[in-house]
A and B are shown apart, each in its own frame.
Chain A
Amino acid sequence: MRTTGKRPVTMLLAAILAVWTLMPIYWILNMSFMHNRELIAVPTHVYPHQPTLSNYVRLFGGTAAGPTGEKLLPIGQGPQIRQGLVNSLVVAAWTSLATLLIALPAAYCFGRLDFRGKTPLLFAIIASRSYPPLAVMIPFYAFFQAVGLHGTRTGLVIINLTATVPTVVWIMSGYFGSLPATLERAARIDGLTRLQAFTRVILPLARPGVVAGALLSFLMSWNEFAFAWVLTAGSKAVTFPPALSTMFFQISWPAEMAAASVIGLLPAALLGYLFQKRMQTLNIVDPL
């Protein structure tokens, strides 16, 4: 880190970066706490003059008082949004767990062991992420129809794994590689096998990295739209993004739409913030 004499310029640039980053998020938050009629006020209300939780309450099936005290009914798309939230949560939790089970042992091998073909194997795993999802949408659609996984949460977990496993193998390889080797060596001298050393010594040691991998796979699953839309829209397994999209393309009021979007982006922002704090200890850029 460097210091320069140009303090005011630095502060100005920092302020611009902060505004650029936060302004869009602030605007949708602002809208979500307004009644619809306040959205079109002139001059514009840059904060809610009559702040209300009515959009949120009505999304969750309650009734609320309108701007003039009249009774507002629950929002029609509320049930599908709530069902989407539950499904998204379940799918993301299973994705996260399964990703760790599959990816961690492999990442450990890439990070700590030397063997023939290590670099090409790791790159093969990473490269499997580079095809466009649209290219494999039809095969998955056909395959899932055939085996009865279409419109199920299990199917979506499997799809999500194709994205999360390579990513977590990639970031965790670098992390395992950067852990001190002495403890593991001591464990091996004490007579533990590789497997025992991995589960009893390395995994506890690697907890910050494991948490980061879990957060990232949860986040990726939570945010996935395209597959969820093709495979679960209109079914019982519909996740939050397709549910929101249905609301978006039906007739919906901007303030209500804003509130529904905020519900989806708050968990993402929280996960992103938690992941960011751990990201600095991961060696994402160059794990080999």
Chain B
Amino acid sequence: MPTPKAPAGLKTATRAPTGRSRLPDHLYAYLFIVPVLLFILLLVVYPIYYSVNISLYDINITFGSWKFVGLAQYAKAVLDPAVHHALLITAVYTVFVTVFSMAIGVGGALLLNEKFPGRGLLLGIVILPWSLSTYATAVIWRFLYSAEVGMFNALLRDLGLTHQAIDFLSARTALLAAAVAHSWQLAPLGMYFMLATLGVVPDDLYKLAKLDKLGAWGRFWHVTFPYLKLPFLIQMVLVTGEAARTFDLIFFLTGGGPGNATRGLSQEIYVETFQNLNLGYGAAQSWILVLFILVITTAYFFLLFGRKRRESKGQLEGGRA
């Protein structure tokens, strides 16, 4: 049975150079890292620069004309009701996905931290949704939600609970339905992250907590959660980023519809850029999305660690020793 090992920290490795070497360590390091940085500069920073640049222009593909408009595209986006709607959809969707997948992730990690027969097998199984792509997830869940061949409607009907097929992807429920599907796929990684640090919570702490008459919630909050903070934050940043910029999942599951019920910012950007060919406007919108993700991520960081970031990091590492 695979048992999660405590992540090995700094302490196991001694990095002091001992042998003879032609090059000092730091030169070796730069020698190996500079190519990676150059690569990233070329393939990440340059496209970002290009994208910021086109967001300052009004581009007409047909005539090949570039008209510099400054921040006009951004001003247009800020006032555009379609963008307001898309931003609202993205925000609600992000909240749904984050809450669902963090709840499933923490719950699954706590469960898998218990001893029970079949635990090893379950540990191997729970990762499966994570290994599937978002588009495959969307196709799978479309077959679950479908009115004609969907599993949910089939079971509900056979159990005599419904007489008419429920449209899970209707305007009122489609966003929620998409969020459930996305959480199914995103949660397993969090389980694994958190399980790794749960393994190092000293059992004595639980005994002490019981002596202090802490209830189950008290034990979780005061004993377990301090150890979970770091993987929890990392998973939350990942999940929020994935949810906020989700494209494939909505594209396959609802295509942004019905109407514009699931048309988030990514869908809006896609339509502006590739269907309406408003390249500059699409680019401006995508930087609004980047800003949106950055604001949330920073907020998490302060919420979870705040000024105590240093202490809690020290505590985590103390827990591993």
Contact = CB atoms under 8 A, between A and B. Distances in A.
Given A113-B15, A181-B13, A1 B51 contact: no
A25 B128 contact: yes
Interface string A241-276: 100110010000010011001001100110111011
Nearest to A186: B19
A156 to B, nearest CB: 13
Contact of B44 (A10, A131, A134, A280): A131
Contacts of B29: 109-110, 113, 115, 118
Given A191-B20, A272-B127, A2 B115 contact: yes
Interface in B103-160: 104, 107-108, 111, 113-119, 122-136, 139-141, 143-144, 146, 148-149, 151, 154-155, 157-158
A78 interface: no
Contacts of B290: 131-132, 135
Interface in B262-277: 266, 269-270, 273-274
A219 B136 CA distance: 13
A248 B140 CA distance: 12
B116 A7 contact: yes
- Chain A contact-residue range equals 35 or more
Interface string A1-34: 1111001001101100110111111011001000
Contacts of A105: 32
B127 A273 contact: yes
A1 B115 contact: yes
Contacts of B193: 284-285
A125 B38 CA distance: 11
B245 interface: yes
- Chain B contact-residue range equals 35 or more
A244 B135 contact: yes
A121 to B, nearest CB: 6
A65 interface: no
Contacts of A285: 7, 193, 196-197, 230-231, 234
A124 interface: yes
A261 B136 contact: yes
Contacts of A158: 43
A273 B310 CA distance: 36
Interface stretch (A47-55, A56-64, A160-168): A160-168
Interface of A is mostly: helix
A230 B274 contact: yes
A273 B131 contact: yes
B25 A187 contact: no
A135 B274 contact: no
Contact of A20 (B7, B184, B247): B184
Residue from B18, B135, B136, B245 whose CB has the most chain A CB atoms within 10 Å: B135
Interface stretch (A36-44, A69-77, A89-97): A36-44
A189 B18 CA distance: 7
A181 B14 contact: yes
Given A10-B116, A268-B133, A269-B131, A280 B2 contact: yes
Contacts of B126: 17, 21
A279 B192 contact: yes
Given A128-B44, A226-B247, 9 more contacts: A11-B116, A124-B40, A125-B37, A128-B45, A135-B287, A136-B50, A159-B43, A188-B18, A226-B248
Interface of B: 2-5, 7-10, 12-15, 17-23, 25-26, 28-30, 32-33, 35-37, 39-40, 43-48, 50-51, 54, 104, 107-108, 111, 113-119, 122-136, 139-141, 143-144, 146, 148-149, 151, 154-155, 157-158, 184, 188, 192-193, 196-197, 199, 203, 206, 230-231, 234, 241, 244-245, 247-248, 252, 266, 269-270, 273-274, 279, 282-283, 286-287, 289-290, 293-294, 297, 316
Across the A-B interface, give the 5 residue pairs with the lowest CB-CB distance, nearest first: A188-B19, A272-B131, A223-B133, A139-B47, A44-B154
